[in-house]
Structure 1
Amino acid sequence: MVLSKRVARFNRVATNHVARPLSKRLAGLGTIVHQGRRSGKTYRTPVNVFRAANGYVVALTYGPDADWVKNVLAAGGCQIETRGQVVRTTQPRLVHDERRTSMPFGVRQILSVAGVTEFLFLDRVS
């Protein structure tokens, strides 16, 4: 049970405007900066993002069919604004993980309740 499109629309219109400024500084939050596949427009999407072995991992709470995920996959990467830094990433890849092993314990529990099993891994550009 991934979050519904109805919730996604509400978040895009309301919640994201509040979360966006906070997401650049707080642990566990970040902003994905990506280009539209067709429009070329720059978008900023607040997400839950965590450090991984070679870069970052994002929990796909709306599933892998979210437009921002498709944009990042098509572009071969994106920028992540997190903890006051801007990080370029590359080699995005979708990973299905029902055990949510890449997430911190508390986050793992919340994602379990929400039924989130899809993650986007991104390597940090050196």
Structure 2
Amino acid sequence: MSIRRRLARFNRVFANRLLGPTLPALPGFGAVHHRGRRSGRPYRTPVMVFRDGELYVLALPYGSDSDWVKNVLAAGGCDLRTRGRGVRLVEPRVYENDSRSDIPAVVRWALKRLGATEFMALRPADADRGPHRHQGEST
């Protein structure tokens, strides 16, 4: 089992239950509220979140094959709670960015150590509609 998978399991079983309720209040963190694809069960997943213009960028340190990522993609969006605010996010796009250029330097180092190069960009549901392309996204 890779270090990323072991860390994901540790976080799911222990850390998220202890720190999960307080993380969304901290800068750079939030909680994604989503529903299971098959069960319809509601879930709350702590995430690292950053802004890139009008887009919200979520780091995917365990990769895009995580269940919560699949749930958000299948639903076409999610609710995000960060710094005491809630926002509905839509049009999820997963992309790879080896340079991690969207991420503030403070956390770039940790994501590099984890080998995290995948991210998800979403726009607020109430944002002005139009063609949007994220800087790390290829055409």
TM-score under structure 2 length normalisation: 0.85
Distance 1:121 1:90, change over 3 A: same
Aligned equivalents of 1:69 and 1:50: distance in 2?
16
Q: 1:3 touches 1:61 (CA, 8 Å); kept in 2?
A: no
Q: 1:92 touches 1:123 (CA, 8 Å); kept in 2?
A: yes
Q: 2:4 touches 2:114 (CA, 8 Å); kept in 1?
A: no
Q: CA deviation at 1:7?
A: 2.0
Q: Which has the higher contact order (CA 8 A, sep 6+)?
A: 1
Q: CA deviation at 1:24?
A: 2.1
| 1:20 alignment counterpart | 20
| 1:87 alignment counterpart | 87
| 2:72 alignment counterpart | 72
Consecutive unaligned residues in structure 1, runs of 5 or more: none
State the 4+ residue runs in structure 1 displaced beyond 3 angstroms: none
Give the SS at the match of 2:22.
Answer: helix
The aligned runs of 1:1-126 (5 Å cut-off) are: 3-126=3-126
Q: CA deviation at 1:93?
A: 0.3
Distance 1:68 1:3, change over 3 A: farther
Once structures 1 and 2 are overlaid, which stretch shifts more, 34-43 or 105-114?
105-114
RMSD: 1.2
Consecutive unaligned residues in structure 2, runs of 5 or more: 127-139
Q: Count the aligned residue pairs.
A: 125
